[in-house]
């Protein structure tokens, strides 16, 4: 273990209270008697009863976000599939909520597909993507009779067609295209540029070759095109530009093959607020840009308007979730910074060390007090980079306080690990004053379950 140092001067405390962080919180968040409540549940009591570290998800916010996508896309065009990207957060309870909200499910692996199967998710509403689906995963997709597979490369197309033809079926497929749009986001989560491991590029004719091959292969039913330009995108203009490119390609497909593309899936990626100054576009604005953009471009080329799909992940769950920790050791390094250590860290939230993500936090049992000191919230793992929040404004943290990190509903539990043999936190869903474990906390037994000794 090395000693963390920083050349950055400590930031000034912002004196905000929990009230000022409302834009980052679940929609049911409120402050009662100095405590933070979510879904009608006192977070301080919950931390004591359920134990920390703990992921808390507000069911009302999740359902609201899914419903917003359904409403504001179908408002402009009736045939839109809202396909929730399960990799952001997937539990069996979450899978059932997605089904109940009339949405589809996007799976990125055989494991995610297994959740859909176990939850009894309607299989015709499952869509599977990924840049290197294994032969076993393709077989699992066909066994489960998933609605659509997003094909990503030539080998996969040949293999999938052969497997499907063997069973006497034609699998509906979308072809993933990289529209060559560099979305304004972090390099690791930017996926729509020409130099990407995902999909077929347009410039060298690969995407057209892929479409022609899909049309020729007996086991494939070419339904349409898919794109996904990245994640945490704030500029809707990136979508509008990518849609122009994709519809121009649809026109080219019709000219060269006579085939009208039946479906255009524009992927996910809508940004969310992690900090108070963040002002992401609303689902309503996103829906309008996407649907109106596709309609207008199709009109320009005289193409029939296809069925559409959007694939939100982060924007459905990020702000619906928080993580509760208990404050442990507090280390003041004079003139440098104060480290406040919690009972979790990079094993339950890797995004700070992986992307330099910034989070806001508050002390749940002092929610109405001003956040008047700046500290670094560190995890308990053997890495100096194990930081949860750098320069966190907090209400004078003390050992035993319940620290609540906001907007952790997406890509935290789903990216969690057992490093240091840390047991993963449970996931609690709150709703109407009730709470229940969707995923229980792991035990040491769970850690050794697969170890053959
Ligand atoms: C990750 C992913 C999504 C969801 O992205 P968000 O940024 O979470 O909305 C959608 N589609 C594909 C293909 C993805 O890989």
pLDDT in tens, the chain (453 residues): 333 333 334 455 566 777 889 999 999 999 999 999 999 999 999 999 999 999 999 999 999 999 999 999 999 899 999 999 999 999 999 999 999 999 999 999 999 999 999 999 999 999 999 999 999 999 999 999 999 999 999 999 999 999 999 999 999 999 999 998 876 655 555 566 667 788 999 988 999 999 999 999 999 999 999 999 999 999 999 999 999 999 999 999 999 999 999 999 999 999 999 998 899 999 999 999 999 999 999 999 999 999 999 999 999 999 999 999 999 999 999 999 999 999 999 999 999 999 899 999 999 999 999 999 999 999 999 999 999 999 999 999 999 999 999 999 999 999 999 999 999 999 999 999 999 999 999 999 999 999 999
Sign of the dihedral through C-alpha 445, 383, 381, 424: negative
pTM for the full model? 0.95
Task: Say what the pLDDT of residue 13 is.
Answer: 57
Task: Say what the pLDDT of residue 5 is.
Answer: 35
Q: Which residues are bridge partners to 174 per DSSP?
A: 150, 224
Task: Say what the pLDDT of residue 313 is.
Answer: 98
Q: Which residues are bridge partners to 330 per DSSP?
A: 340
Cβ-count burial of 387 within 10 angstroms (0-12 exposed, 13-18 middle, 19+ buried)? buried
Q: Which atom of ligand 1 is closest in space to residue 411's alpha carbon?
A: 8
Structure-token pair, residue 411 = 């890509």
Task: Say what the pLDDT of residue 172 is.
Answer: 98
CA dist 285 → 36, 68, 270, 290 (Å):
30, 11, 10, 9
Q: Are residues 251 and 386 both part of a single domain? A: no
Alpha carbon nearest to ligand 1 atom 15, residue: 228
Residue 210 in domain: yes
Q: Are residues 101 and 20 both part of a single domain? A: no
Q: Are residues 119 and 261 both part of a single domain? A: yes
Domain boundary among 316, 337, 369: 316
Q: DSSP letters of 88-112?
A: G---HHHHHHHHHTT-EEEE-SHHH
Q: Are residues 295 and 340 both part of a single domain? A: no
Given ligand 1 and candidates 81, 85, 177, 264, which is best to mutate, with the most ligand atoms within 8 Å of its CB? 85
Residue 180 in domain: yes
Q: Are residues 197 and 281 both part of a single domain? A: yes
Q: Which atom of ligand 1 is closest in space to residue 129's alpha carbon?
A: 13
Task: Say what the pLDDT of residue 436 is.
Answer: 98
Residue 453 in domain: no
Residue 3 in domain: no
- CATH number of the domain that 83 lies in? 3.20.20.10
Q: What residues make up the domain containing 244?
A: 60-316
For residue 177, what are the contacts with CB-CB under 8 A and spacing of at least 6? 199, 200, 201, 202, 207, 225, 226, 227, 246, 249
How many Å apart are CA 200 and CA 207, to the nearest integer?
A: 5
Structure-token pair, residue 280 = 């992401």
Q: Are residues 287 and 353 both part of a single domain? A: no
Of 290, 310, 180, 185, nearest to 243 by C-alpha is 290
Task: Say what the pLDDT of residue 3 is.
Answer: 34
Q: Is 162 helix (H, G, I), strand (E, B) or coil?
A: helix
| H-only helix segments in 75-201 | 92-100, 110-118, 135-144, 154-166
Give the chain's domain count: 2
Of 433, 343, 427, 324, nearest to 381 by C-alpha is 343
Given ligand 1 and candidates 148, 150, 267, 410, which is best to mutate, with the most ligand atoms within 8 Å of its CB? 267
Q: Are residues 90 and 220 both part of a single domain? A: yes
Q: Are residues 178 and 104 both part of a single domain? A: yes
Task: Say what the pLDDT of residue 303 is.
Answer: 98
Domain boundary among 316, 331, 357: 316
Exposure string (b/e) for 400-423, b if CB count within 10 Å is 16 or more?
Answer: ebbbbbbbbbbbbbbbbeeeeebe
Q: Are residues 116 and 144 both part of a single domain? A: yes
Q: Are residues 309 and 327 both part of a single domain? A: no
Domain boundary among 282, 316, 350: 316
Q: Are residues 354 and 399 both part of a single domain? A: yes
C-alpha of residue 344 to centroid of ligand 1, in Å: 26
Pocket of ligand 1 (CB under 6 A): 85, 87-88, 106, 129, 228, 231, 267-270, 311-315
Q: Are residues 143 and 225 both part of a single domain? A: yes
Residue 1 in domain: no
C-alpha of residue 109 to centroid of ligand 1, in Å: 13
- CATH number of the domain that 358 lies in? 2.40.37.10
Given ligand 1 and candidates 150, 225, 268, 409, which is best to mutate, with the most ligand atoms within 8 Å of its CB? 268
Active site residue 382: yes
> Which residue in the list 104, 298, 382, 412 is annotated as catalytic?
382
Residue 376 in domain: yes
Task: Say what the pLDDT of residue 433 is.
Answer: 98
Residue 107 in domain: yes
Q: Which atom of ligand 1 is closest in space to residue 230's alpha carbon?
A: 7
Residue 5 in domain: no
Task: Say what the pLDDT of residue 9 is.
Answer: 41
Q: Which atom of ligand 1 is closest in space to residue 150's alpha carbon?
A: 13
């Amino acid at each position: 273990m090395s000693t963390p140092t920083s050349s950055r001067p400590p930031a000034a405390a912002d004196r905000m209270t929990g009230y000022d962080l409302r834009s980052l919180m679940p929609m049911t968040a409120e402050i009662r008697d100095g405590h933070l409540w979510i879904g009608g549940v006192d977070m301080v009591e919950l931390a004591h009863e359920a134990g920390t570290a703990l992921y808390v998800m507000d069911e009302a916010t999740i359902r609201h976000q899914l419903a917003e996508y359904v409403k504001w896309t179908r408002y402009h065009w009736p045939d839109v599939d809202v396909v929730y990207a399960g990799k952001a957060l997937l539990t069996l309870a979450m899978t059932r909520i997605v089904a109940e909200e009339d949405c589809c499910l996007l799976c990125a692996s055989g494991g995610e597909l297994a959740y859909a199967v176990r939850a009894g998710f309607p299989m015709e509403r499952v869509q599977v993507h990924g840049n290197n689906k294994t032969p076993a995963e393709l077989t699992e997709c066909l066994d489960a009779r998933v609605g659509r597979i997003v094909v990503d490369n030539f080998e996969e197309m040949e293999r999938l067609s052969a497997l499907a033809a063997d069973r006497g079926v034609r699998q509906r497929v979308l072809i993933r295209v990289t529209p060559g749009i560099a979305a304004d986001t972090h390099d690791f989560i930017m996926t729509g540029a020409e130099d990407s491991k995902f999909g077929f590029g347009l410039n060298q004719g690969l995407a057209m070759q892929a479409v022609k091959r899909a049309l020729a292969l007996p086991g494939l039913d070419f339904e349409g095109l898919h794109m996904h330009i990245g994640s945490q995108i704030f500029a809707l203009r990136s979508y509008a530009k990518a849609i122009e490119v994709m519809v121009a390609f649809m026109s080219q497909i019709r000219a060269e093959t006579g085939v009208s593309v039946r479906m255009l899936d524009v992927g996910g990626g809508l940004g969310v607020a992690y900090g108070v100054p963040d002002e992401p576009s609303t689902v309503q604005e996103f829906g309008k840009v996407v649907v109106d953009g596709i309609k207008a471009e199709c009109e320009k080329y005289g193409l029939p308007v296809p069925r559409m799909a959007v694939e939100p992940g982060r924007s459905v769950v990020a702000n619906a979730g928080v993580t509760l920790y208990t404050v442990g050791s507090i280390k003041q390094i004079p003139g440098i910074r104060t480290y406040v250590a919690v009972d979790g860290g990079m094993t339950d939230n890797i995004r700070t060390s992986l992307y330099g993500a910034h989070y806001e936090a508050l002390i749940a049992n002092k929610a109405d007090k001003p956040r008047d000191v700046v500290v670094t919230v560190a995890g308990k793992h053997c890495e100096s980079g194990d930081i949860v929040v750098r320069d966190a404004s907090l209400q004078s943290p003390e050992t035993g306080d319940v620290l609540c990190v906001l907007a952790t509903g997406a890509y935290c539990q789903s990216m969690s690990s057992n490093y240091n043999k840390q047991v993963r936190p449970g996931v609690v869903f709150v709703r109407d004053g009730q709470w229940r474990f969707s995923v229980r906390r792991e035990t040491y037994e769970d850690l050794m379950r697969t170890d053959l000794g």
